[in-house]
Amino acid sequence: MDDDARDWIAIRRAVVRYAQHRAGRADIAEDIAQEVLTRLMQVAETEQIGSIMALAFRIADNLLVDTYRRERRFDSDLDTEWQSDAPSPDRVLDSRSAVMVFQRCLRSMPPLRREVLVRRRLHQQACRDIAEALSLTPEAVEKHITRGLADLRRAMARAGVAIEDMA
Amino acid sequence: MAADLRAIDEAAAQWVQRMALPVQDSATAAAFDRWILDDPRHVDSYARMVQLWQSDGLRQALAANDVPDSAATALGPRGAPHRLWRSAALLVPAMAAAMLLLIVAPPLLRDPVRHGAPPGAMRVVALADGSRVNLAPGARIAVRMTPWSRDVTLERGQAFFDVAHERMRGFAVDGGQARVRVLGTAFDIDRMEGEAVVRVYRGSVSVAAGAGRQWRLSAGSGIALRGGNATTIDGITGSRPDWADGWFDANNTPIRQLIAHLNRGAATPIRLADPMLGELQVTGRFRLSDPEDALAAVAAIHDLNLRRDARGLVLSR
């Protein structure tokens, strides 16, 4: 481990933050980060990791799903209506009011941008295929997606759908 | 400021797209790590963007906008293949996740570093943090060091830990019945079947036995945990346990414990003709390297017979 130049402390800090956002609560973020880092370091000992942060976030996502499943099992007597494997902020984004906000925002976008988003997210088409079908360059497709997502984010923030407050 | 955040959101959205691909080249991977670690706001934005992109809410909103006539440009044929796409779309994220797991999962649960002492010999292990561990014959530990934690599991046997003091990083030993937490100190932990004994020689430790039961022990004291019972031990002297020098120090100790320790180092196993004999108590110092001599002393104290048969030494009434 001595020859490892990675800044594990900074990596850990980022994972805690990420887990806080994804979980929507602080109490499990530290535990999740601890487990993520332990696993990361085990992998790092033997494997070449492309993106350590991508792997870290992926492990955190999986652990969060596990955590919610476990907690749901414990709570199953109390709460049968609200059963979902998704962490709570995800449920916020799936709510009826969030869908309304998204729809309004999508309607106000240029139709081409909306079409790119529909093809990419809903139909899971590759950027290259979208570019071909719509006579765009792949760079333009990427621009449409990133701008579209930033618009959706801002729309959520304006509507006060509370994903920021939970972090 | 708002423009700043907008730029971060757009960058985050771009990374969500790029990192969703199952394979990235190493330059992209490194650039992503740099970007994430560069600014905490990048983590915030990325986390929210992942959430947004994957949300079922967005999927529903897009589906509502997916009306053939509303498209601004000429589109491919719709209908049956389209429905196929729709159901496939539900599967794709799961498949992407599965692929990623296939790539990275196998080594995730690799074991921590293990050290063991062979039967009949002690071993001293120097850990990466400067701590030293004396392993009794047959003892085995598993060590997991990270920049923020030092975790050891005493898988079996007995070990004496001389822990290098670190202000920020704790040192924990899981000994089955007892879990010991320290910063810097010296203590001995003996793990037996359904039983654990902790003795502190320097500094202080916190011992947890589960179910909220917890003790704070300082140098010179100890605790024996057996089932639900806890017995405190005092009068511990010296800077390390006698066994580390090859002695077993008994103080009204059941014979079974002495025999368990002798058996760790013995080439010839020792057994009791009657398990009840194990509850007889002894006091004194016994040399672990010479089981026959130690047992002869025990036999003399309690008027027992010591004999040798094909399987080893037997103590009987």
Query: What span, in angstroms and rounded, lies between the C-alpha atoms of A59 and A32?
Result: 9
Within a domain: residue B94? no
Contacts of residue B30 in chain A, CB cutoff 8 Å?
Answer: 51
Confidence of residue B282 (pLDDT cuts 50, 70, 90): confident
As a whole number of angstroms, the distance between CA B229 and CA B231 comes to 7
Question: Does B23 map to a domain?
Answer: no
B106-159: per-residue pLDDT in tens? 333 335 788 998 877 888 998 888 899 999 988 999 998 776 678 899 999 999
* Contact (CB<8Å) B65/A46: no
Tokens of B232: 């405190």
Percentage of chain B beyond pLDDT 90 is 21
Q: Is B281 in contact with B174 (CB distance < 8 Å)?
A: no
- Per-residue pLDDT averaged across A32-50, rounded? 83
Same domain, B256 and B227: no
pLDDT for B91: 55
Q: Which of A34, A99, A154 to mutate to test the interface with B (most CBs of B within 10 A)?
A: A99
- Report residue B112: phi and psi, to 5°: -70, 175
Query: What are the counts of helices (DSSP H) followed by strands (DSSP E) for chain A?
Result: 8, 0
How confident is the model at residue B199, as a pLDDT? 92
* Interface predicted TM-score (ipTM): 0.85
Q: Which of the residue ranges A55-69, A102-116, B1-15, B23-37 has the most confident prediction, judged by mean pLDDT? A: A102-116
Same domain, B131 and B154: yes
Q: Which of A45, A120, A149 is nearest residue B49 as measured by Cβ atoms?
A: A149
Residues B224 and B141 in one domain: yes
Q: Which tens digit of pLDDT belongs to each residue from B53-100?
A: 988 889 989 988 876 544 444 444 444 444 444 455 555 555 555 444
Residues from chain B that touch A131, judged by Cβ atoms under 8 A, are none
* More confident site: A74 or A12: A12
What is the distance, to the nearest Å, from the Cα of residue A167 to the centroid of all Cα atoms in its chain?
Answer: 13
Burial readout A108-122 (b: 16 or more C-beta within 10 A, e: otherwise): ebeebbbbbbbbbbb
pLDDT tier at A161 (50, 70, 90 boundaries)?
A: low
Domain boundary among B181, B203, B234: B234
pLDDT of residue B101: 43
Question: Domain check: are B282 and B194 in the same one?
Answer: no
Tell me: do B224 and B119 sit in the same domain.
Answer: yes
Q: Across A29-38, B73-82, B280-289, which has the greatest mean pLDDT?
A: A29-38
Both B229 and B252 in one domain: the answer is: no
CA distances from B74 to A133, B16, B78, B81 (A): 8, 28, 11, 17
Give me the number of domains chain B comprises. Answer: 2
| Mean pLDDT taken over chain B | 80
DSSP element (H, E) containing B96: helix B80-104
Indicate whether B154 belongs to any domain: yes
Please give the average per-residue pLDDT across A157-166, as a whole number.
59
Q: What's the pLDDT at A88?
A: 57
B38 neighbourhood in chain A, CB within 8 Å: none
- Coil, strand, or helix at residue B52? helix
CB atoms within 10 A of CB A41: 19
- Give the domain CATH number at B286: 3.55.50.30
Q: Is residue B305 part of a domain?
A: yes
Contact assignment for A153 to B144 by CB distance below 8 Å: no
Do B217 and B289 fall within a single domain? no
B258 lies in the same domain as B214: no
Cβ distance A167 to B44 less than 8 Å, yes or no, reads: yes
Q: What pLDDT score does A5 carry?
A: 61
Distance CA B43, CA B55 (A): 18
**How much of chain A exceeds pLDDT 70, in percent?**
78
Q: Do B108 and A107 lie within an 8 Å CB cutoff?
A: no
Output the pLDDT for position B78: 42
Please identify, among B197, B213, B234, the residue that sits at the C-terminal boundary of a domain. B234
CB contact under 8 A, B73 and A57: no
Give the chain B residue nearest A52 (alpha carbons): B33
Give A-chain residues touching B142 at CB under 8 angstroms: none
Could you tell me the pLDDT band of residue A113, with boundaries at 50, 70 and 90? Answer: very high
Based on the fold, state whether residues B204 and B122 are members of the same structural domain.
yes
Residues of B within 8 A of A110 (CB-CB) are: 72
**3-class DSSP state of A79:** coil
Confidence of residue B205 (pLDDT cuts 50, 70, 90): confident
Contact B24 A51 (CB under 8 A): yes
Tell me the pLDDT of chain A averaged across its residues: 79
Residues A55-102: tens digit of each pLDDT? 899 888 888 877 776 766 555 444 444 444 455 556 677 778 888 899
CB contact (8 A) between residue A146 and residue B86: no
B78 CA to chain A: closest CA distance, Å? 12
**Cα(B45)–Cα(A164) distance, rounded to whole angstroms?**
10
Enter the pTM of the model.
0.48
Residue-wise DSSP of B129-188: TS-EEEEPTT-EEEEEEETTEEEEEEEEEEEEEEPPP-SS--EEEEETTEEEEESS-EEE
Say if residue B258 is in the same domain as residue B228: no
**Amino acid B1: pLDDT:** 62
- 8 Å CB contact of A146 and B10: yes
Mutant choice from B8, B18, B39, B62 vs A, greatest count of A C-beta within 10 A: B62
Residue B221 lies in a domain: yes
Task: Name every chain A residue with its beta carbon within 8 A of the beta carbon of B70.
Answer: 111
> B82 lies in a domain?
no
Q: Find the domain containing B211 and state its range.
A: 113-234
- The tens digit of pLDDT for each residue in A116-127 reads 999 999 888 888
Q: How many CB atoms within 10 Å of residue A79?
A: 9
The reported pLDDT for the residue numbered B14 is: 92
Query: Does B108 fall in a domain?
Result: no
Mutation for testing the A interface, residue in B6, B23, B32, B36 having most A CBs under 10 Å: B36
Does any domain span residue B300?
A: yes
Q: Provide the shortest C-alpha distance from residue A75 to chain B (in Å).
A: 21
| Residue A78 to chain B, least CA–CA distance (Å) | 24
pLDDT at residue B280, rounded to an integer: 85
CATH number at B183 reads: 2.60.120.1440
Which of the residues B50, B59, B65 would you substitute to probe the A interface, choosing the one with the greatest number of A C-beta atoms within 10 Å?
A: B65
Do B191 and B252 lie in a common domain? no
- Is residue B205 located within the same domain as residue B250? no
Nearest to A149 among B52, B88, B145 (CB): B52
Nearest to B36 among A53, A142, A148 (CB): A53
Domain termination site, one of B234, B260, B286: B234
